[in-house]
Structure 1
Amino acid sequence: MTAPSAPGGEARLALTAGVACFLLWGFVPLAFQAIGRLGVGPLETLAQRTFWSIPAAGLFVLLAGQGAQVRAVLRNPRVLRWLVLSSLLIAINWITFIWAVTSGRLLEASLGYYINPLVNVAAGALLFRERVDRVAQVAIVLAVLGVVLQAIALGHLPWVSLVLALSFGGYGIVRKQVAADAQTGLLVECLFLGLPGLVYVAWLQSQGAGHFFDSPVSAAWLIASGPITAVPLVLFAWAARRVPLSVMGFLQFIGPTISFMIGLAQGEAFTPLRAASFGFIWVGAAVFALGAWRRSRAIPVIAAAE
């Protein structure tokens, strides 16, 4: 079923929010590269990112009036167990992404987010016995061929791409099991990750290895990593409820395309074999998006409840 289609001006606002979140995700690598140039390692960046996401996520919870929902979630062991798992998955995704973009592997990172939708389809078929139509099958085969070519070009499995795709795909699957809105879930995840992160940062500072107090610039970038994390996630959650899934399916390729172009501009190796691998991935992604659009045309538009 497609997402409810929002009426009038709200539909335009929702589409703007969707485009904005993917634009932000596309340019996020530049922020973490700037933090990396200040000498901050990936683990410290992750710890600071999760801790400073807490106030940002908390603000969105307050604006959405979800304080009672947060309290209910914190009293529900089953929901908390799911959120612990989703927290671990998103932490794996974030640390891999931070390491990749600060280590000259932005092309591999972008590849991961190109294949992520196809990983979701495959996971749906394997875990939930969802039907995979012929178009999706073709898209998955093309993606697999692209990954194989990428492995040949690199001389090893593109593990950065696979970890990013699988961890984010797994995160999405787990979050579907969570009986909580996006803002509430994000706040609880940030609490799970950010509080231990604060302990780690405090330990680093006590050892003279932390970077938060190096300069006002370092502090500003590390504090900004919180909103940089929370804002696009909330924009995405808000837009996804109001924009048809077929449209979101096309929009989701904005982020990795921007990251891909940044990687090229920064001079990452792009051999003919790597170009061929991306070609297979791009065609697979296009086939998948076209199939989603065609399916959505056959489903009546449902008026938004909100």
Structure 2
Amino acid sequence: MPSTTDPTARPPRSGLAAALGAYVLWGAFPAFWPLLAPAGSVEILAHRIGWTLVGMLVVLTAVRGWSQLRGQSARTWLTITVASVLITINWGVYIWGVTHGRVVESALGYYVNPLVSVVLAVLVLGEQLRRVQWVAVGIATVAVAVLWAGTGALPWVALVLACSFGFYGLLKKRVPLAPVAGLTAEGFLLGPIAIGYLVWLQATGVGTFGQGTGHTLLLIAAGPVTALPLLLFAFGAKRLPLATLGLLQYVNPTMQFAWGVLVDHEPMPPARWIGFVLVWVALLVFAADGWTASRRRAGRPAGSGAGEAQPTRSTV
């Protein structure tokens, strides 16, 4: 197996296929969530949480990972609780965005997410950004200002998605659980609330579950549709260099952007194009600097690159 620290090493095909598959599935989400109509955004979110928990319980049992959840401290469970709230906000805003004609803005959130994550690492963890990384962050900030001024509205969907997942990523670094156990733990905290809400919807006659076999199966599919790319990503992330993952992460928002423009035909006035071009320039600068830094670290003794903020990967 090639070294996970050498960006020039050829990544294993299994890891590359798994990670790419995860990002392609995430990129196809704008095509899936609108299929769950007439269910509203909150009902879809509740089904996503509830059925994901069911699926993860099965997976955790299959991999015999229950022991990981035992003996965790109250501090760890508090961290998981806050992380659960953040991922709920992220999922909910995303579902609302792609079901209300805001696919392009949602894509912007996942383009900007890596830059937001490294800034949070600086502000919260005291990590250091290289000068070129600060340039990339500055360009992205100008891009958001252009989008705000040119369209007359703050791209709040993008900012909420980027910031909620940025803080979620920071908290997940403090949770000593593998991805499967971690997602299951979050489900334990979110699932009862989501399931209770769904029971209330059905009891009051407002819920859409059971309104046709196809619709019911699609609502149930929200669980595996959520879990599968997460499991693929976890598999790929263990086998690929960070630099490779850093480049693959842009497959997701690029597919979403293309869907919003080419399929949903969302408006793209000049100011919006200018803003996106600036974001893409910022990401090119950021990715090029990260690749160069990875090549330099590959030639250093282990541990000599500590203290520098690293790119993070986003999910939806």
Q: Which interval holds the TM-score relative to the shorter structure? A: over 0.9
Q: Which of 160, 168, 177 lines up with 1:171 in the alignment?
A: 168
State whether residues 5 and 11 of structure 1, in contact with CA within 8 Å, keep that contact through their aligned partners in structure 2: no
Q: How does 1:140-289 map to 2 (within 5 A)?
A: 140-265=137-262, 266-289=264-287
2:89 to 75, 92, 114: 92
How far is the alpha carbon of 1:31 from its aligned partner? 0.8
- What corresponds to 2:311 in structure 1? none
Counterpart residue type for residue 162 of structure 2:
A
TM-score by length of 1: 0.92
How far is the alpha carbon of 1:29 from its aligned partner?
1.5
Whether the aligned pair in 1 keeps the contact of 2:6 and 2:294 (CA below 8 Å) is no
Q: Report deviation, 1:203.
A: 0.4
Rounded to whole Å, the distance in 2 between the matches of 1:4 and 1:192 is 35
Distance across 1 between alignment mates of 2:94 and 2:104: 11
| Amino acid of the structure 1 residue aligned with 2:295 | R
Moved over 3 A (4+): 2-6
Unaligned runs of 5+ in 2: 301-316
- Give the equivalent residue in structure 2 for 1:104: 101
| Secondary structure of 2:70's aligned partner | helix
Given residue 160 of structure 1, which amino acid in structure 2 is its aligned partner? V
CA distance in 1, matches of 2:240, 2:99: 33
**Structure 2 counterparts to residues 103-122 of structure 1, below 5 A:** 103-122=100-119
Deviation at 1:56, TM superposition (A): 1.8
TM-score by length of 2: 0.90
Q: Distance in 1 between matches of 2:6 and 2:60?
A: 24
3-state DSSP class of the match of 2:297? Answer: coil
Q: Which runs of 5+ in 1 are unaligned?
A: none
What residue number does 2:18 align with? 17
CA contact (8 A) 2:46 2:198 kept: yes
User: Could you tell me which amino acid in structure 1 is paired with residue 63 of structure 2?
Assistant: A
Write 1 or 2 for the structure with the bigger share of helix.
1
Identity of matched residues, %? 37
Give the aligned length. 296
